[in-house]
A and B are shown apart, each in its own frame.
Chain A
């Protein structure tokens, strides 16, 4: 990233800033990660240790019991595979549809653009609610299909607006020269605009993927067939009980052990965190110069 040039023009003040900045951000990073480590430690600790030690980042005695009780069932494995596939396919579909719509909207001279943008903004602010959405999904025959897990929220108005704005900021010359060379708009999008927009596309791929991965409302409402359930739906039983009602407290069924709750958090988070570096790669690659050359 042209770092050699930077160093050549380094000043003392600049170096001081660098040191402070590194220290500051390392501190921020630690602050962000410590609670996660706490949850990780809790997921590996015995229930007795969790109830008797208030805060720890390393358990005295390591046990994988909490994980064993989540991971042991076949249903979990199936749900995991389902979720990975649905997230992958769903993200592609959602990102594709969003980019496809964002591109024409980035053309300021397009007739009707303003009207459509207003409709998009209104849809962003107002959502009709659960029951009407359920009825629509039902009418379209999507109940108990995997489509119901990503089609109903295929284009996030917020993402659409941001992506549209990114497209709008791209230099128009490249696109125009492509058009002059005889490319149609779809080809311009594919060969000129998308390669230039890798950082933003990677970002929204992550947004969409996390959205599908963490969603439990859609499977809850649209899937009554348990064999199609996703990971969050299975894990919900454990995570949701944090918001106890009076009846839950009085129930004969004791709340799930703390260790299992922690393990669930880890199991649900780690795959997304692991996927992240693959996307991060594209954040730097999207730079203008590289793209123009390539």
Chain B
């Protein structure tokens, strides 16, 4: 806990935009420095080669009819068969639409809410209260989707659920929210917000904790209000984090997650609930059709990589840091 006096006494340490000053160095010194950096990076690189890239030779089963017993080499080569099966599937347009809508909702609603919650938490001054609320909002992250879904079932149960009664009272209807296709997406969004917003604030709070306090002091002396401080100091300070999180999220756009959607779907709302991840579960995992599910995974990954590189390029164009 630093006091005002501490702050004043501290040497000025402004954090400028991370443009490294290119000073003159001798080649020898630079090489010596790189040697250390490469050495430090070596374990990580070995890890990536061993545990991330070596298994990727297994991706070739997307082009084969893989039988575990015959092994990856021994299975029959079928070329693009699994890919054409996937893209020519009559359900494909529906799966794509459903997946994109759910992802868009997450990106446009849940993601900004996370930032808002982090900012609000940051404005709490009573440390004890701040810590307590922080701890409380993390709890939902630890409850499994199974628990969340069964609770949703309780709250929206036809005839008995408290939320069923309340909402139908307000709208003057008798909708069964759990089976009505129109309510599927709002419910999914609501669950996502409840479960992940609090946990999602962690990264932003870490970024906020690193914000230079002296800037606030200076702003207060200049008579800046709270809103102005947030707008001109806090947000710019965590902007790099926001941009990075946004870029990473776009790469995940086709991954809606399986468990939540699978548990929330039923015969009556399947038309809006079918997404790539549930489809892969039914065709791939449940039947042990690994080649097919790998082909779908590969297609999704290619889209993800394109999106990440695309948004990263965009971020750079707008003079943001980007991820690399």
Direct interface between A and B, CB < 8 A: yes
Interfacial residues, chain A to chain B (CB-CB below 8 A): 1-6, 9, 11, 13-14, 17-18, 21-22, 24-26, 28-33, 35-36, 38-39, 54-55, 97-98, 100-101, 103-105, 107-111, 113-114, 116-129, 131-133, 135-136, 140, 151-155, 157-158, 160-162, 165-166, 168-174, 176, 179, 184-186, 189, 196-197, 199-200, 202-203, 206-207, 210, 239, 242-243, 265, 268-269, 272-273, 276-277, 280, 283-284, 286-290, 292-293
Name the contact of A3 in the complex, choosing from B22, B125, B308 (C-beta under 8 A): B125
Count of chain B residues with Cβ under 8 Å from any Cβ of A?
114
CB-based contact A29/B11 at 8 Å? no
Contact B56 A287 (CB under 8 A): no
Please tell me if the beta carbons of A25 and B57 are within 8 angstroms of each other in the complex.
Answer: no
A54 touching B160, Cβ below 8 Å: yes
What residues of chain B lie closer than 8 Å to A28, measured between beta carbons? 117, 133, 137, 198
- Which A residues lie within 8 Å of B323 (CB)? 117, 121, 161, 165
B74 within 8 A of A: no
Shortest Cβ distance from residue B67 to the other chain A in the assembled complex, whole angstroms: 11
Chain B residue numbers with a CB within 8 Å of A272 are 142
Q: Taking the nearest CB of chain B, how far is it from the CB of A113, in angstroms? A: 7
Q: Is the CB of A136 within 8 A of B51?
A: yes
Choose one: B15, B38, B124; the contact of A169 (CB below 8 Å). B15
Which of A1, A26, A118, A125 lies at the interface centre, i.e. has the most chain B CB atoms within 10 A of its CB? A125
Instruction: Give, as a whole number of angstroms, the nearest-CB distance from B69 to chain A.
Output: 12
Cβ B154 vs Cβ A14 within 8 A? no
Contacts of B15 in A (CB 8 A): 169-171, 288
Is A14 a contact partner of B226 (Cβ separation < 8 A)? yes
Residues of B within 8 A of A202 (CB): 206
Q: B28 interface residue, CB < 8 Å from A? A: no
Contact B37 A104 (CB under 8 A): yes
Report chain B residues within 8 Å CB of A166: 206-207, 210
Known: A101-B40, A113-B324, A169-B240. Contact between A269 and B142, CB under 8 A? yes
How far apart are A249's CB and chain B's nearest CB, in angstroms? 15
Which residue in chain B gives the minimum CB-CB distance to A8?
A: B220
Chain B interface mostly: helix
Judged by a CB distance under 8 angstroms, whether B172 is at the interface is: no
- Provided the pairs A162-B244, A172-B20, A289-B2 are in contact, do residues A25 and B206 lie with their beta carbons within 8 angstroms? no
Residues on B with C-beta less than 8 A from A54 are 154, 157, 160
Contact indicator B68/A169 (Cβ below 8 Å): no
**Given A14-B225, A140-B50, A284 and B37 touching (CB < 8 A)?**
no
**B180 CB contacts on chain A under 8 angstroms:** none
Chain B residues positioned under 8 Å from A265 (CB to CB): 143-144, 147
From residue 110 to 132 of chain B, which have CB atoms closer than 8 A to chain A? Answer: 117, 120-121, 123-127, 129, 131-132
Q: A101-B45, A123-B52, A171-B14 are in contact. Are A276 and B120 (CB under 8 A)?
A: no
Query: Which chain B residues numbered 163 to 178 have a C-beta less than 8 Å away from chain A?
Result: none
24 contacts between A and B (CB under 8 A): A21-B120, A22-B126, A31-B194, A32-B136, A32-B139, A32-B198, A35-B148, A39-B143, A101-B41, A107-B37, A110-B37, A114-B324, A116-B45, A121-B323, A127-B55, A128-B57, A132-B58, A132-B72, A136-B51, A154-B51, A199-B206, A273-B135, A288-B212, A293-B10
The residue on A at minimum CB distance from B58 is: A132
A169 and B43 contact, CB distance less than 8 A: no
B54 within 8 A of A: yes
